[in-house]
């Protein structure tokens, strides 16, 4: 299977703090890979380093056969990476429709994709004129994912999609993400191991800024010792 | 509806109290007085708004407190005055100015050339500096041999005050243009253009290689050719162009003056952001000190060129009629005789100050509002105010939008300055006092709120003008014989007082967002 994203031993600093001290991961085309690990392990920073929002000082990120070192983050994103950040980062002053339109990379992206998007998230169509500030947490999460779908993205980086959502909504979100992985590749950061284990085929565990273990999710599920040691879950 | 009111109870109560105060203030004077005071307040408010709105856009998106904004306002006024009263100087400067800009219009081509060449190590670092130095030497060598009719500051007879007065009386005689003596015009033109091209390419070499797929559109070349062509035309048709500008209708010249001031402001803002402000986004305090320093430098440059005297830019013909049929009493008279004043309710209203400026303010308010609400750029600005990183993660070059907004903000300030030049006059300190007003207006209206900037500016303008008016007619204190006349120092104090009261009630200003 082809590797779409190859992260090789990256080291990232935020200010003077050495946050990532050697993270490596390979993401096969068309799969869902979950980044696991405790709070503060460096999962979100890994996603931001891939996008160049916090550019790595050492190591390199290869996306679609292209070395991303030294590229600016908007150029990286324009190569076809969609980002759904932690806490959604919906633009509050923009309407739902504007939140989608702003993600257009080519003119007409939104019109072309709107049927697909509203098919996935029928609720958004109803809320189209509402401003982002007036959406509930679940609606914001849907909008954040929908926004990443407007442009043609080969890779989706999704950070904590289940955070703060009611169980019913989590289930809905999981359905959407697994449908997405049919067409694009997904890297998922997820605290909720139950959610991650059901969605992802592959996993990478990050501990104190290093990638310590990776492999197939179906192997991890039965490896209670690893789960207990790195994730603290039973 | 009830919910809307309940949600913003403090806001509505504050506005209600302000309205009550306004009605009380209006009842204390004759109708004609309060109409004129109201219009004057709106006029001051409109000029304040032009500065405040640019300041607030820049602060909202870039987090830069541009304390040089008042200086930009002042520079706008001086540029407009120069184009309007001394078109010869304007034409003299136009040619070298445009030729110097032309090389930077090709930035797309430079970026592609940079990606094409492969040099490393010491040379890679040294080359841009060497290029810049070479460009600077060429430009300095050529520029100081350029004949530019800048008036002799020592000679009072030729000072700005005299020229303003003569222009107002229609007696303006411009000094003869100086001929090229030390170098031929062709050498001068080629030298400046070469300097500009070398500088543009060298600046581009400073940037890191982006590996992005660069396309050079035909527009990039078109821009270069247009600017270079106009520059060359201004150089070779110098005297003819001056004669033409002196000959045309003063309304057109005024329009050209305002347009030049705005363009110069936009250019200045763009250059300022991309060279000085950009490296300091990670050091906000340095940025603040930088803008204070730039403000001081700007004032000194203005003093060096135009001197210290205060003067007024003459109004264009459309607003300066005084002869037969003036002051106008009907709209038809106004259109026919272009009166400078109209008579309304026994009072005289100055058309330019009290009607034209508020109207332009309103037009700008609506135009920028539409730009923010309806265009893709506006969408990006509104989104970027909240979360620039996320906008970038969508694949949008936020830095370019930053430059654009900074340029736009400075352009608005320059527009304010150009419009204020005929009504408030020009002086070295005009920028500082207006910036203070604008900051107070923004604190009242809400620092990053665009409608807040408008509301705050109007309130500041109205309050100042009503206090000034009451300084003349006095306020009878109830139950006493005392008539209180606010002294001039109370004018700025009153706006600060209003700001304090509003900030105590609503810490984010009237329309500011709660953090």
pLDDT tens by residue, B197-207: 998 888 888 77
pLDDT at B187: 83
Inter-chain touch A73–B393, beta carbons under 8 Å: yes
Tell me if B425 is assigned to some domain: yes
Q: By the 8 A CB rule, do B320 and B340 touch?
A: yes
CA distance B43 to B53: 15
pLDDT at B210: 58
CA distance B218 to B99: 20
CA distance A91 to A100: 10
Which residues, at least 6 apart from B330, have a Cβ–Cβ distance to it below 8 Å?
none
pLDDT at B176: 67
Identify all chain B residues contacting A101, using CB atoms and an 8 Å cutoff: 376, 379
**pLDDT tens column, A198-207:** 888 888 888 8
Inter-chain touch A74–B395, beta carbons under 8 Å: yes
Inter-chain touch A102–B209, beta carbons under 8 Å: no
Compute chain A's Rg from CA coordinates. 17
CA distance B395 to A105: 7
Q: What was the ipTM of the complex prediction? A: 0.88
Q: Which of B209, B389, B394 sits opposite A70 (nearest CB)?
A: B209
pLDDT at B179: 67
Taking residue B331's Cβ as centre, other Cβ atoms within 10 Å add up to 9
Inter-chain touch A151–B382, beta carbons under 8 Å: no
Residues B284-303, mean pLDDT to the nearest whole number? 91
Most confident of B10-19, B259-268, B447-456: B259-268
Taking the CA of residue A93 and the nearest CA in chain B, the distance in Å comes to 7
Name every residue in A having a CB less than 8 A away from some CB of B: 51, 53, 70-75, 77-78, 83, 85, 89, 91-94, 98, 101-103, 105, 147, 151
Inter-chain touch A102–B398, beta carbons under 8 Å: no
The token duo for B113 is: 């050339």
Q: Which residues of B235-247 are buried (b: 16+ CB within 10 A; e: fewer)?
A: beebeebbbebbe
Q: How are beta strands A81-84 and A32-36 bridged, if at all?
A: unpaired
Q: Using alpha carbons only, what angle is made at residue B14 by residues B9 and B20, rounded to the nearest 5 degrees? A: 125
Tell me if B514 is assigned to some domain: no
Q: Which of B376, B382, B393 sits opposite A83 (nearest CB)?
A: B393
Taking the CA of residue A92 and the nearest CA in chain B, the distance in Å comes to 8
Tell me if B90 is assigned to some domain: yes
CA distance B273 to B410: 10
Tell me if B342 is assigned to some domain: yes
By residue count, chain A amounts to 234
Identify all chain B residues contacting A83, using CB atoms and an 8 Å cutoff: 390, 393-394
Mean pLDDT of all residues belonging to chain A: 84
Taking residue B428's Cβ as centre, other Cβ atoms within 10 Å add up to 19
Name every residue in B having a CB less than 8 A away from some CB of A: 208-212, 376, 379-380, 382-383, 385-387, 389-398
Taking the CA of residue A91 and the nearest CA in chain B, the distance in Å comes to 6
Least confident of A52-66, A151-165, B211-225: B211-225
Residues B326-354, mean pLDDT to the nearest whole number? 78
pLDDT at B211: 56
Position A77 pLDDT exceeds 60: yes
Position A134 pLDDT exceeds 60: yes
Q: Report the chain A residue with the minimal C-alpha distance to residue B209.
A: A70
Position A123 pLDDT exceeds 80: yes
Residues A154-178, mean pLDDT to the nearest whole number? 84
CA distance B263 to B256: 10
What region, left, alpha or beta, does residue A2 occupy, with left being phi > 0 and alpha being psi -120 to 50 degrees?
beta
Inter-chain touch B386–A75, beta carbons under 8 Å: no
**HSE toward the beta carbon, residue B448, CA cutoff 13 A:** 18
Residues B408-429, mean pLDDT to the nearest whole number? 93
Residues B159-182, mean pLDDT to the nearest whole number? 74
Q: How confident is the model at residue B214 (pLDDT cuts 50, 70, 90)?
A: low
The C-alpha torsion from B231 through B235 and B240 to B242, rounded to 10°, is: 70
Inter-chain touch B393–A102, beta carbons under 8 Å: no
When divided into structural domains, chain B yields a total of 1
pTM: 0.86
Least confident of A111-120, B178-187, B246-255, B460-469: B178-187
Taking residue B434's Cβ as centre, other Cβ atoms within 10 Å add up to 26
Taking residue B439's Cβ as centre, other Cβ atoms within 10 Å add up to 23
Q: Report the chain B residue with the minimal C-alpha distance to residue A157.
A: B393
CA distance B423 to B428: 16
Identify all chain B residues contacting A105, using CB atoms and an 8 Å cutoff: 394-395
pLDDT at B258: 95
Inter-chain touch B389–A53, beta carbons under 8 Å: yes
Position B396 pLDDT exceeds 60: yes
* Helices and strands, counts by H and E, chain A: 10, 10
Inter-chain touch B379–A73, beta carbons under 8 Å: no
Identify all chain A residues contacting B394, using CB atoms and an 8 Å cutoff: 74, 77, 83, 102-103, 105, 147, 151
Q: How are beta strands A210-216 and B347-350 bridged, if at all?
A: unpaired
Residues B349-377, mean pLDDT to the nearest whole number? 90
Identify all chain B residues contacting A187, using CB atoms and an 8 Å cutoff: none
Residue A106: C-alpha distances to residues A112, A113, B11, B328, B391 (Å): 10, 12, 42, 55, 15
Identify all chain A residues contacting B395, using CB atoms and an 8 Å cutoff: 74-75, 77-78, 105, 151
Helix (H, G, I), strand (E, B) or coil at B26: helix
The token duo for B472 is: 């003349």
Tell me if B510 is assigned to some domain: no
What domains are there in chain A, each with its CATH number? 3-80+154-231 (3.40.50.300), 87-150 (no CATH)
Identify all chain B residues contacting A147, using CB atoms and an 8 Å cutoff: 394
Identify all chain B residues contacting A89, using CB atoms and an 8 Å cutoff: 387, 389-390
Q: Give the sign of the dihedral formed by CA B256, CA B261, CA B265, CA B268.
A: positive
pLDDT at A170: 85
Which residues, at least 6 apart from B112, have a Cβ–Cβ distance to it below 8 Å?
B214, B216
- Residue B53 C-alpha from the chain's centroid: 11
| Boundaries of domain holding B210 | 2-505
Which residues, at least 6 apart from A181, have a Cβ–Cβ distance to it below 8 Å?
A30, A31, A32
Inter-chain touch B379–A98, beta carbons under 8 Å: yes
pLDDT at B6: 67
Taking residue A160's Cβ as centre, other Cβ atoms within 10 Å add up to 21
CA distance B228 to B100: 9
Inter-chain touch B392–A73, beta carbons under 8 Å: yes
Query: What count of CB pairs under 8 Å joins A to B?
Result: 68
Mean pLDDT of all residues belonging to chain B: 84
Inter-chain touch B382–A83, beta carbons under 8 Å: no
CA distance B109 to B216: 6
**pLDDT tens column, B448-505:** 888 899 999 999 999 999 888 888 887 777 777 788 888 888 888 999 999 999 899 8
CA distance B203 to B274: 11
**pLDDT tens column, B79-96:** 999 899 888 888 888 888
Q: Report the chain B residue with the minimal C-alpha distance to residue A54.
A: B389
Identify all chain A residues contacting B379, using CB atoms and an 8 Å cutoff: 94, 98, 101-102
Residues B40-45, mean pLDDT to the nearest whole number? 93
Q: How confident is the model at residue B386 (pLDDT cuts 50, 70, 90)?
A: confident
Q: What is the DSSP annotation of B279-333?
A: GGTT-HHHHHHHHHHHHHHHHHHHHHHH-S--B-PPPPGGG-B-STT-SBSSHHH
Which residues, at least 6 apart from A71, have a Cβ–Cβ distance to it below 8 Å?
A52, B210, B211, B212
| A26 strand-pairing partners | A6
Tell me if B386 is assigned to some domain: yes
Helix (H, G, I), strand (E, B) or coil at A94: coil
Q: Give the sign of the dihedral formed by CA A155, CA A160, CA A165, CA A170.
A: positive
Position A98 pLDDT exceeds 80: yes
- Residue A185 C-alpha from the chain's centroid: 10
CA distance A140 to A153: 20
pLDDT at B4: 65
Q: Report the chain B residue with the minimal C-alpha distance to residue A67.
A: B211
**pLDDT tens column, B127-151:** 888 889 999 998 888 877 777 766 5
Interface probe for A, chosen from B394, B397, B401, B512 (most Cβ of A below 10 Å), is B394
Tell me if B120 is assigned to some domain: yes
Taking residue B174's Cβ as centre, other Cβ atoms within 10 Å add up to 18
Identify all chain A residues contacting B389, using CB atoms and an 8 Å cutoff: 53, 89
Q: How confident is the model at residue B369 (pLDDT cuts 50, 70, 90)?
A: very high
Q: By the 8 A CB rule, do B103 and B197 touch?
A: yes
Residues B190-211, mean pLDDT to the nearest whole number? 81
Inter-chain touch A102–B389, beta carbons under 8 Å: no
Tell me if B93 is assigned to some domain: yes
**HSE toward the beta carbon, residue B225, CA cutoff 13 A:** 5
Taking the CA of residue B373 and the nearest CA in chain A, the distance in Å comes to 9
Position A172 pLDDT exceeds 90: no
């Amino acid at each position: 299977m082809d590797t779409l994203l190859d992260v090789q031993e990256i080291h990232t600093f935020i200010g003077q703090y050495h946050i990532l001290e050697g993270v490596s991961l390979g993401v096969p085309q068309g799969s869902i890979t979950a980044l696991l690990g405790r709070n503060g392990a460096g999962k979100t920073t890994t996603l931001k380093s891939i996008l160049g929002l916090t550019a790595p000082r050492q190591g390199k990120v290869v996306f679609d056969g292209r070395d991303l070192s030294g590229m600016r983050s908007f150029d990286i994103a324009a190569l076809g990476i969609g980002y759904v950040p932690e806490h959604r980062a919906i633009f509050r002053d923009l309407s739902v429709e504007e939140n989608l339109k702003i993600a257009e990379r080519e003119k007409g992206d939104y019109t072309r994709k709107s049927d697909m998007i509203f098919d996935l998230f029928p609720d958004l169509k109803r809320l189209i004129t509402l401003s982002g500030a007036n959406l509930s947490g679940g609606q914001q999460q849907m909008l954040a994912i929908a926004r990443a779908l407007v442009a043609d993205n080969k890779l989706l980086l999704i950070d904590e999609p289940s955070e703060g959502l009611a169980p019913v909504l989590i289930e809905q979100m999981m359905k959407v993400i697994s449908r997405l992985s049919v067409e694009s590749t997904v890297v998922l950061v997820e605290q909720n191991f139950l959610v991650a284990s059901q969605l992802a085929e592959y996993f990478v565990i990050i501990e104190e800024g290093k990638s310590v273990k990776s492999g197939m999710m179906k192997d991890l599920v039965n490896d209670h010792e690893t789960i207990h040691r790195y994730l603290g879950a039973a | 509806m009830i919910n809307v009111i309940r949600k913003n109870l403090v806001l509505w109560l504050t506005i209600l109290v302000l309205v009550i105060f306004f009605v009380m203030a209006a009842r204390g004077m004759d109708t004609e007085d309060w109409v004129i005071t109201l219009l004057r307040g709106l006029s001051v408010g409109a000029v304040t708004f032009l500065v405040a709105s640019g300041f607030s856009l820049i602060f909202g998106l870039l987090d830069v407190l541009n304390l040089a904004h008042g200086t930009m306002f002042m520079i706008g006024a001086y540029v407009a005055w120069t184009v309007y009263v001394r078109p010869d100087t304007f034409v003299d400067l136009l040619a070298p100015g445009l030729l110097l800009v032309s090389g930077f219009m090709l930035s797309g081509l430079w970026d592609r050339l940079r990606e094409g060449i492969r040099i490393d190590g010491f040379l890679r670092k040294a080359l841009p500096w060497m290029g810049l130095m070479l460009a600077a030497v060429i430009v300095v060598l050529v520029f100081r041999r350029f004949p530019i009719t800048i008036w002799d500051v020592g000679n009072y007879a030729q000072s700005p005050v005299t020229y303003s007065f003569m222009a107002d009386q229609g007696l303006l005689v411009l000094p003869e243009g100086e001929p090229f003596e030390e170098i031929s015009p062709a050498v001068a033109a080629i030298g400046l253009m070469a300097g500009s091209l070398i500088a543009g390419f060298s600046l581009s070499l400073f940037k890191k290689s982006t590996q992005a797929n660069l396309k050079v559109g035909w527009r990039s070349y078109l821009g270069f050719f247009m600017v270079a062509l106009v520059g060359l035309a201004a150089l070779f048709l110098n005297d003819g162009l001056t004669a033409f500008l002196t000959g045309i209708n003063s309304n057109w010249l005024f329009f050209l003056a305002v347009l030049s001031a705005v363009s110069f402001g936009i250019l200045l803002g763009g250059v300022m952001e991309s060279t000085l402000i950009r490296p300091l986004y990670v050091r906000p305090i340095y940025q603040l000190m930088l803008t204070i320093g730039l403000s001081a430098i700007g004032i000194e440059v203005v003093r060096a060129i135009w001197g210290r005297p205060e003067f007024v830019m003459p109004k264009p013909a459309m607003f300066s009629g005084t002869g037969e049929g003036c002051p106008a009493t009907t709209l038809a008279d106004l259109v026919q005789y272009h009166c400078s004043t109209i008579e309304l309710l026994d009072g005289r209203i100055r058309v330019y100050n009290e009607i034209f400026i508020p109207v332009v303010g309103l037009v700008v308010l609506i135009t920028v509002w539409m730009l923010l609400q309806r265009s893709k750029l506006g969408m990006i600005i509104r989104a970027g105010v909240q979360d620039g990183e996320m906008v970038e993660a969508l694949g949008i070059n936020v830095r370019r939008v930053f430059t654009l907004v900074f340029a736009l903000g400075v352009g608005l300030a320059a527009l304010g300055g150009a419009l204020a030049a005929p009504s408030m006059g020009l002086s070295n300190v005009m920028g500082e006092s207006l910036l203070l007003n604008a900051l107070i207006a923004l604190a009242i209206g809400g620092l990053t709120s665009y409608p807040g900037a408008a509301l705050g500016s109007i309130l500041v303008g109205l309050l100042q003008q009503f206090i000034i008016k009451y300084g003349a007619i006095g306020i009878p204190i109830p139950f006493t014989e005392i008539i209180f006349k606010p002294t001039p120092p109370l004018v700025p104090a009153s706006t600060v007082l209003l700001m304090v009261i509003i900030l105590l009630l609503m810490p984010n200003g009237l329309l500011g967002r709660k953090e």
